[in-house]
Amino acid sequence: MSDETRNYIRDIVWKLLLREPGDTSYLAFVRDACLDEGEVDIFTLNHDTLMETFLAQHGIELCDGFTKPVNEVRYFDRAQFDSCNSVRFVKLHGSLSWFEFDQDDRLVAGIPLGSDVLHRKDPAGSDQVTLRGRPLILAGTGNKPLEYQVGVFGELHHQFYRRIRETRHLAVVGYGFGDRGINQRVFDWIFGSHEARMVIAHPNPEGLKSQGRWEVREYWDGLEARGKIRFIVRAAEELTWNEIRAEFDDN
């Protein structure tokens, strides 16, 4: 009964998140970052499809790790990231549009296109159904660091590890620093490089610090004093890419 209660809650939540979004113009700072010169990687913990839909509407091509459609399903393929020549877009907690399929005793992640996501043809043209009938998303707290190591999530978090090591600048918007696994990766990066700089946009930085995990409260002040963390005291709805860019250019 407890398992079915949990499934019931999860099903209600993901279906509510499927509702059509309202005004998305506040995401203009993400669009402008993608159109700016230089290489951009976007890592998000959101399950919804708001950002990729917005960017597609503005003609921005994303490399999300999924292939071109085969029988109306895009399948996850790690090689997509290696051959990427556009904006990398990585959803570290999964997505409402992702489902798992069983193909010859092999679990594969795919994005079914169209309205009927539960019934699709496999690459060979045979019928296939989605496992469990619900999206491939991560939810919970203590379970996430373990799940970051396996399946499609293992590859996605490898991309996060790989890409963050190759950058000097990280912009953080809308993240509450409450995820232990993500925090460990970010702080490992910022302590591991003299050039690493993080700009955090939030309307209440002190409140953000007090609500974050212990490592945030432990390291925050020292990193700010050394200029490795800077703040823009604004909500995402008020933010511009020029403001973020100016903080990095001033380092």
Q: Tell which wins on pLDDT, 130 or 123.
A: 123
Beta bridge partners of 197: 169
- DSSP 8-state assignment for residue 26: G
Cα Rg of the chain (Å, integer): 19
| Per-residue pLDDT tens digits for 218-235 | 888 999 999 999 999 999
CA distance 101 to 131: 6
pLDDT band at 121 (very low <50, low <70, confident <90, very high): confident
Q: What is the pTM of this model?
A: 0.90
Q: What is the DSSP secondary-structure string of 77-124?
A: -THHHHT--SEEEEETTB-TT-EEEEETTEEEEEEE-SS--SEEE-TT
What does each C-alpha distance from 178 to 66, 89, 98, 153 come to in angstroms? 28, 21, 24, 19
Q: What are phi and psi of 164, to 5 degrees?
A: -70, -30
CA distance 145 to 185: 11
* Side-chain half-sphere exposure of 128, counting CA atoms within 13 A: 26
pLDDT given for residue 14 in this prediction: 79
pLDDT given for residue 131 in this prediction: 78
Close Cβ partners of 150 (under 8 Å, ≥ 6 residues apart): none
145 touches 109 (CB < 8 A): no
pLDDT band at 102 (very low <50, low <70, confident <90, very high): confident
Q: Which strand (E) or helix (H) includes residue 132?
A: none
Task: Please say if the pLDDT value at position 209 is more than 80.
Answer: yes
What does each C-alpha distance from 242 to 32, 123, 151 come to in angstroms? 9, 45, 37
| Per-residue pLDDT tens digits for 61-94 | 999 999 999 999 999 999 999 888 889 999 999 9
What average pLDDT does the chain have?
A: 89
Close Cβ partners of 141 (under 8 Å, ≥ 6 residues apart): none
pLDDT given for residue 222 in this prediction: 92
Q: How many Cβ atoms are within 10 Å of 72's Cβ, its own excluded?
A: 14
| Per-residue pLDDT tens digits for 136-159 | 988 766 667 778 888 899 999 999
| Per-residue pLDDT tens digits for 108-119 | 999 999 877 778
